[in-house]
Amino acid sequence: MRVVIVTLLAFLGLTTGTSYEGFKVYKVLPKTELQNAYLQELESSPDFDFWSKLNKVGAPVVIMVAPNVQKAFESYLTRHEIEFELTIENVERTIQAEKSYHTTRQARKSTGITFDHYLRHDEINAYLTQLAQTNPSLVTVETIGQSYQNRSMNLIRISSGTTNPPKPVIFIDAGIHAREWIAPALALYVINQLVENPENSNLSKDIDWIILPSVNPDGYEYTWTTNRLWRKTISPGLVCDGCDANRNFDFHWMESGASNWECSDTYAGKKAFSEIETQNLKNYLLKTPNIEAYITLHSYGQYLLYPWGYIDKLCDNWKELDQLGHDMDKAISAVNGTTYTIGGSTATLYAAAGASDDWSMGVRNVSIVYTWELPGGGTYGFDLPPERIEGVVKESFEGVKVLANFVAKNR
């Protein structure tokens, strides 16, 4: 609507130097021929600017009305029982707001990322590259491989100061499930805070961070272009495409909570690591030393889940993970009151074998492992509205800090 107004005003040649202070816009609905005729009488007066043409009975017209005649206008309509609605209180204010929205958006664009909208895959990678260029001593960006459709799977390594002795690494991935958009958004926020907010420099003093914001870029782009609720990868099948990458890891693969039916949303793939994306991730994890914590970001449900997920049994250090989970929850909930359920994957949510969390602990021997289910929202739960991104990522970052401090002290 605002765009329409500004465009219309520009079209009428009215924007330059003219102020619309106090001008109001009404939507008016003539329901009879007579009412239509009454409105027609106003059309010739310069005090009434018809933004849409007076058409036929039953079609609303939009009229901008100068301040000095608003009272008379309203009583004229009331007298003739013409239905109306005020749509813009003050046109000038609307124009100014639109302008400043664009300028701040523009200004921010040049300095980097904002968390008022979700990013496309290319934008995510562009942000990582930009950080590597502007912070070469702190940041390196590495491609761990290409997706099935040949998109670069890029991760960022944030590492300050000396590497001797090596620091414990916190590894975070996101977006293994395509539709869970808030997950990559949080990964990016963590990156943003660690690299671009000097207040958080202490968090990379004793820890190295490796963050892969988009494990399933093909699926992610597919949710932008074709099907907002797509979860799987995009590798072609016989009947249906895609595989649930979080059922595709080679640790008790297909033993529980996974399907061998291609069209299922939890299809585990033809075999373990059938997907190039999970292969790329696993190869990277196997060759990377010192990973002490592995966090995989999902949505939704507000859970912090620790292994095991393939069986209803808790991992050996579950008490430590349970305590840390509660500490993270405490820090998160202190921000806006968002609370989490903490527990073993299977008992708390459901059994599901072949997920990245179990594999990291069971095969890669990482001891601090969580599947983090972020808050939901929107119509489907996965489509958390952009206005809520900032609130969620900010509160969640408090949990990330608690995790970081724990790892720095105890690993």
The entry of ligand ARG, Zn ion, none near residue 42 (CB within 5 to 8 angstroms by kind) is none
In this structure, the number of other CB atoms found within 10 A of the CB of residue 386 comes to 14
In this structure, the number of other CB atoms found within 10 A of the CB of residue 326 comes to 14
Nearer to ligand ARG, 316 or 387 (CB): 316
**Alpha-helix residue ranges (DSSP H) falling in 167-275:** 182-196, 217-225
The entry of ligand ARG, Zn ion, none near residue 305 (CB within 5 to 8 angstroms by kind) is ligand ARG
DSSP 327: H
**Contact between 408 and ligand ARG per CB under 6 A:** no
| 92 catalytic residue (yes or no) | no
Phi-psi region of 275 (alpha: psi -120 to 50; beta: other; left: phi over 0): beta
Binding mask 359-398 vs ligand ARG (x if CB under 6 A, - otherwise)? ------------x---------------------------
**Amino acid identity at 252:** H
- Least Å distance, CB 339 to ligand ARG, is 18
Q: Which of 142, 373, 387, 390 is catalytic?
A: 373
Contacts of 90 (CB under 8 A, 6+ apart): 20, 21, 22, 23, 24
**Contact between 66 and ligand ARG per CB under 6 A:** no
- Apex 359 CA angle, 303 and 127, nearest 5: 70
Beta pairing, strands 208-212 & 152-158? antiparallel
Number of residues that bind ligand ARG (CB under 6 A): 11
The entry of ligand ARG, Zn ion, none near residue 352 (CB within 5 to 8 angstroms by kind) is ligand ARG
Is the CA virtual torsion 23, 24, 29, 32 positive or negative? negative
- Least Å distance, CB 113 to ligand ARG, is 27
Cα–Cα distance for residue pair 87/198, rounded to 1 Å: 44
- Least Å distance, CB 73 to ligand ARG, is 57
Nearest to 399 by CA among 326, 348, 343: 326
Binding mask 287-306 vs ligand ARG (x if CB under 6 A, - otherwise)? -----------x------x-
Nearer to ligand ARG, 131 or 305 (CB): 305
Beta bridge partners of 293: 170, 368
Scanning 22-30, 169-177, 232-240, 255-263 for contacts with Zn ion by CB under 5 A, the matching segment is 169-177
Binding mask 246-275 vs ligand ARG (x if CB under 6 A, - otherwise)? x-----------------------------
Scanning 15-23, 172-180, 282-290, 348-356 for contacts with Zn ion by CB under 5 A, the matching segment is 172-180
**Contact between 24 and ligand ARG per CB under 6 A:** no
Interface of this chain with Zn ion, residues 284 to 303, rule: CB under 5 A: 298
Nearest to 318 by CA among 304, 329, 331, 332: 304
Burial code (b: 16+ CB inside 10 Å, e: under 16) for 71-83 equals eebeeebeeeebe
Cα–Cα distance for residue pair 179/228, rounded to 1 Å: 6
Cα–Cα distance for residue pair 97/145, rounded to 1 Å: 44
Nearer to Zn ion, 177 or 252 (CB): 177
Interface of this chain with Zn ion, residues 34 to 53, rule: CB under 5 A: none
**Contact between 179 and Zn ion per CB under 5 A:** no
Among 184, 213, 217, 309, binds ligand ARG (CB under 6 A): 309
Return the residue nearest ligand ARG (CB atom).
Answer: 309
Cα–Cα distance for residue pair 368/172, rounded to 1 Å: 12
Dihedral, CA of residue 250, residue 256, residue 260 and residue 262, to nearest 10: -90
Interface of this chain with ligand ARG, residues 324 to 363, rule: CB under 6 A: 345, 349, 352, 355, 357-358
Cα–Cα distance for residue pair 303/318, rounded to 1 Å: 15
Scanning 6-14, 59-67, 173-181, 190-198 for contacts with Zn ion by CB under 5 A, the matching segment is 173-181
Nearer to ligand ARG, 278 or 371 (CB): 371
Among 24, 151, 167, 177, binds Zn ion (CB under 5 A): 177
Which residues sit at the interface with Zn ion, rule CB under 5 A?
A: 177, 298
Which residues sit at the interface with ligand ARG, rule CB under 6 A?
A: 246, 298, 305, 309, 345, 349, 352, 355, 357-358, 371
Give the catalytic positions in this structure: 373
